[in-house]
Amino acid sequence: MDSREFTLRAPASITAIVTALIIASVLIPAAGIYAMVVMADLRIFLLPVIVIQTAFGLFGIIVAIGLLRLFEAARKATILLSKVTIIVFSGVLLLFWAAAFSTHNTVFLMPFLVCGGSLVILLPLVVWWRMVLRRESVRSQFR
């Protein structure tokens, strides 16, 4: 078999992680871009956040392809990406919370709620990814 040939031989748990990772890598930057378009008042504030989200989204798609090909580096990158995602979302959540409640500006309330909802959705996914990818039976399948 040619080493460049792409075969899907990843187990179902890895395929499920890849699916969730690709969906999150596309939806999170798309939601940020949508928020930037809808909330014109926050364009300057949201632009750095959108750039970071897009960079992590592209990185997530690349890592997802590596997971499907069962690369050890992709497994480690997924674990790292899960940590960084929670840290970044928590930091942005605190930033929006401080902006919303210190200035009593309701413009920051919607991004705070969206970021908080995203964190609530992503937290169980991250715990699941870390549990699955750290198991010895899964770790032995990567090269």
Q: What count of Cα atoms within 13 Å lies in the side-chain half-sphere of residue 56? A: 25
Is the residue at 5 inside a domain? Answer: no
* Whole-number pLDDT of residue 4: 52
For 65, the domain range is 12-139
In what helix (H) or strand (E) does residue 90 lie, and over which residues does it extend?
Answer: helix 72-102
Angle at 18 between CA 78 and CA 80, to 5 degrees: 5
Is the residue at 7 inside a domain? Answer: no
pLDDT band at 112 (very low <50, low <70, confident <90, very high): confident
Q: Do residues 64 and 18 make contact, with C-beta atoms less than 8 angstroms apart?
A: yes
Give the number of domains in the chain: 1
Is the entire prediction scored with pTM above 0.75?
A: yes
Question: Residue 86 has which token pair?
Answer: 């929670």
Is the residue at 4 inside a domain? Answer: no
Is the residue at 3 inside a domain? Answer: no
Number of DSSP helices (H) and strands (E) in the chain, helices first: 5, 0
Is the residue at 1 inside a domain? Answer: no
Is the residue at 16 inside a domain? Answer: yes
Ramachandran class of 70: left when φ > 0, alpha when ψ lies in -120 to 50, beta otherwise: left
Q: What is the pLDDT of residues 21-59, one digit of tens each?
A: 999 889 888 887 887 788 777 778 778 878 888 898 899
